[in-house]
Amino acid sequence: MLDRIEFLLGEALVSLRRNPWMSFAAITTSAMALFLLGGLAYAYSGLAGFVSSLGDRMEMKVFLKDSLPDEKAASFRDSLLRLPGVATVRYVPRDEGLKRFLAENPNIDVTGLLDDNPLPNAYVVRVRQAKDFAPLAASIARKPEVEANGVKYAAAEQDFLTDALRTMPLLGMTLGGLMLLTSGVLIYNAIRLTVLARRREIRIMQLVGATRAMVWTPMLIEGVIQGAFGGALATLVLWSAHNVVQQTVVRNLTAIGTMPAFPTATALAWLIGIGAAYGFVCSFVAVREPMQPRRRPA
């Protein structure tokens, strides 16, 4: 049994050495395809986690009507807390709002502001999830206590992140699919060249009793090795790209926070598994087609 396994692996390695440049092209192209797929999947998961955490970072300001008495403005808090998706509510009276405004804008001319405060009473609302911003803003804006256009939050940034989450899977499938198709053609051609070059040798093996599995297996192993090496190379490139982004971009943007550690073991297992499976499929197609028994003309 061990001799048979050694023979099959040896034949696969011999085939790889016979076509080194074709194997190199197949491995690097599949690595780029898996890098695109894995990188966009990793970026998507990170962006999705960042967007879901925005509810704890972003605030929604709700400005009340000037005609609303201070007592009713303070009691409006209970109405906000009953809304689904609201995490916390903080009341900001007009006097406190003016003090904060003056502290944040020390160069503003305050003449007349202290005697006639133009700011309304307001609430600062935080939500549990970023996806709750738009429906909550619409629900709060319909309340009679809130002034017209009195709900303010970073709607443009929220829409941008939502659009990015919708676009990234499509982009990953398109670019990664094209690269996978290219790498599949290269793996297919590498295995097919091996089959055609060894047609006479394969025929002799069949005549002396070699089974189809014995003939096919080394070439299937060759495709699996090419795909697996492509997955390993993609993991290495993805790990390097993660470190570069961490050191050059994220470290200088304190608002983003820190990136989580790169899941090396998980990425390696997934990308090698996907690459090996894809290499097996491509090599199976390449082996099967030229070795189909030919029908003799009647």
The residue with greater pLDDT, 191 or 73, is: 73
Residue 1's pLDDT is 57
Alpha-carbon gap, residue 5 to 13, rounded angstroms:
12
Cα separation of 19 and 21, whole Å?
6
| Contact assessment for residue 46 and residue 260, using Cβ atoms and an 8 Å cutoff | yes
Q: What pLDDT does 85 receive? A: 80
Mean pLDDT check: name the lowest of 52-56, 95-99, 237-241: 52-56
184 in Cβ contact with 282 (< 8 Å): yes
pLDDT higher than threshold 70 for residue 293: no
pLDDT at 198 exceeding the cut of 50: yes
Phi, psi of 257 (to 5 degrees): 95, -155
**Predicted TM-score of the model (pTM):** 0.60
Asked whether the predicted pLDDT for residue 56 surpasses 60, the reply is no
pLDDT of residue 233: 92
Which pLDDT belongs to residue 6?
66
**Residue 252 CB coordination number (10 Å):** 8
**Topology (CATH level 3) of domain 59-153:** Alpha-Beta Plaits (3.30.70)
Q: Which token pair is 243?
A: 């470190």
CA pair distance 82, 125, nearest whole angstrom: 12
- Report pLDDT digits (tens) over 243-275: 887 777 655 555 555 667 788 888 889 889 988
Confidence grade of residue 298 (pLDDT, cut at 50, 70, 90): very low
Kindly state the average pLDDT of the residues 150-178. Answer: 74
Average pLDDT over residues 47-59: 64
* Strand (E) or helix (H) holding 147: strand 146-152
The predicted model gives 19-26 an average pLDDT of 76
Average pLDDT of the chain is 75
Which tokens sit at 231? 């997955």
% of the chain at pLDDT higher than 90: 2
In the prediction, which pLDDT does 153 show? 77
> Which DSSP state fits 55?
G
Looking at per-residue confidence, does 81 or 112 come out higher? 81
What is the distance, to the nearest Å, from the Cα of residue 161 to the centroid of all Cα atoms in its chain? 13
Does 113 score more than 60 pLDDT?
Answer: no
Contacts of 33 (CB under 8 A, 6+ apart): 176, 178, 179, 180, 182, 183, 230, 234
pLDDT of residue 217: 80
| pLDDT > 60? residue 205 | yes
pLDDT band at 55 (very low <50, low <70, confident <90, very high): low
Residue 122 predicted with pLDDT over 80? yes
Domain ranges of the chain: 2-52+169-288, 59-153
* Cβ atoms 273, 30 nearer than 8 A: no
The per-residue pLDDT for range 206-250, each reduced to its tens digit, is: 777 767 767 778 878 888 888 899 889 989 998 988 888 777 765
The residue-averaged pLDDT of 136-165 equals 79
